[in-house]
């Protein structure tokens, strides 16, 4: 018997967000009326303390193929890898359990895949924070992987914003496992889909925002993890792995765009941590000494912390759009 491979695997890693997962699943199922059931599958990896039976019932009643995987709370990196290994679709959509989608999201994705004259490696869907506007006909365009990466920058790190070719992405599974714990184990897989060796592919940017991103609010203050570890250390290392497939100019532009984020991250990290300054500075020096961003900001670390806080407040006043306090 020949197994029918779905066109799209909707892959949702979730952890202790039952109401958000139910909301997202309901939104997605509300869009499948004009889509063949054979074209979709759900794959959910649930690390929650209690299984979400409401979501299971929804999927059973929808008569769609689904795989509800119970896992252990090993973090988002392990979850996205495991969920992709379990997916069978030609394309994979990793979806954050707390995000939301516009009412014509799935219709637009299938339109992008149908109308392309080349194999699609990666689709980037624009997103907003706050409120989604209703758009009857979303706009999208086909682009090269190089121009897409230069255009979207670090927005590629939002899981929900991307759909990728599974056959291309799966080739980077072993490399992705190397970066479990970095917050970005998903990125080698996306880069492999965007920059396949010896194969011509196209990418797509959906300009109309079809995703409502609900940013996670960190309960713990201190350590500006996203700014320093993730973008400064981990992302540099991941991009270096693709020195043979991603042009040097593209990698350079991408890292240049993240420089401000890294630099502000170092400063905010130092300001927010309450440990004594000598230990604080030695911690930064040991961890980030090999990165030029640290030395370019080193003169600030030599200043008294009270002075840095004062100048940082002034900086925020004049450049409110240049930093994130989340």
Express each pLDDT in 270-295 by its tens digit: 666 655 555 566 666 666 666 666 67
Instruction: State pTM to two decimals.
Output: 0.79
Q: pLDDT digit string (tens) for 148-188?
A: 998 888 788 888 999 999 999 999 999 999 988 877 899 99
The pLDDT score that the predictor gives to residue 218 is: 44
CATH 3.90.550.10 residue window(s) in the chain = 8-212
Q: How far apart are CA 18 and CA 247, in angstroms?
A: 42
Termini Cα distance of the chain: 51
Q: Give domain 8-212's CATH superfamily.
A: Spore Coat Polysaccharide Biosynthesis Protein SpsA; Chain A (3.90.550.10)
In three state form, how does the secondary structure of the chain look? CCCCCCCEEEEEEECCCHHHHHHHHHHHHCCCCCCCHHHEEEEEEECCCCCCHHHHHHHHHHCCCEEEEECCCCCHHHHHHHHHHHCCCCEEEECCCCCEECCCHHHHHHHHHHHCCCCEEEEEEEEECCCCCCCCCCCEEEECHHHHHHHHHHHHHCHHHEEEEHHHHHHHHHHHHHCCCCCCCHHHHHHHHHCCCCCCCEEEEEEEEEEECCCCCCCCCCCCCHHHHHHHHHHHHHHHCCCCCCCHHHHHHHHHHHHHHHHHHHHHHHHHCCCCHHHHHHHHHHHHCCCHHHHHCHHHHCCCHHHHHHHHHHHHHHCHHHCCCC
pLDDT of residue 308: 78
- Split at pLDDT 50, 70, 90, the class of 225 is very low
Higher per-residue pLDDT: 303 or 165: 165
């Amino acid at each position: 018997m020949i197994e029918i491979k779905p066109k799209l695997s909707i892959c949702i890693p979730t952890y202790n967000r039952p109401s958000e997962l139910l909301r997202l699943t309901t939104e997605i199922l509300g869009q499948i009326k004009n889509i063949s059931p054979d074209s979709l599958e759900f794959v959910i990896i649930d690390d929650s303390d209690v299984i979400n039976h409401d979501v299971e019932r929804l999927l059973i009643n929808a008569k769609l193929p689904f795989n509800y995987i119970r896992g252990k709370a090993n973090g988002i990196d392990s979850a996205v890898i495991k969920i992709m290994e379990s997916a069978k679709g030609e394309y994979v959509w990793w979806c954050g359990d707390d995000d939301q989608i516009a009412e014509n999201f799935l219709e637009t994705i299938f339109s992008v895949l149908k109308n392309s004259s080349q194999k699609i490696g990666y689709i980037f869907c624009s997103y907003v924070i706050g409120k989604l506007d209703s758009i009857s006909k979303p706009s999208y365009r086909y682009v090269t992987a190089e121009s897409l990466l230069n255009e979207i920058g670090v927005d590629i790190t939002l899981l929900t914003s991307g759909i990728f070719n599974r056959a291309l992405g799966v080739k980077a599974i072993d490399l992705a496992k190397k970066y479990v714990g970095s917050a970005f184990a998903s990125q080698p897989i996306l880069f492999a889909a965007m920059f396949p060796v010896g194969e011509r592919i196209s990418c797509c940017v959906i300009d109309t925002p079809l995703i409502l991103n609900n940013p996670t609010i960190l309960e713990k203050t201190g350590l500006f993890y996203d700014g320093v570890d993730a973008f400064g250390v981990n992302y540099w290392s991941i991009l270096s792995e693709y020195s043979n497939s991603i042009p040097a100019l593209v990698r350079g532009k991408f890292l240049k765009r993240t420089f401000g984020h890294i630099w502000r991250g170092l400063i905010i990290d130092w300001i927010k941590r309450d440990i004594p300054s000598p230990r604080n500075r030695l911690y930064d020096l040991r961890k980030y000494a090999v990165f030029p961003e640290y030395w370019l900001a080193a003169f600030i670390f030599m200043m008294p912390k009270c002075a840095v806080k004062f100048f940082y407040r002034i900086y925020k006043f004049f450049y409110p759009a240049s930093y994130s306090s989340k």
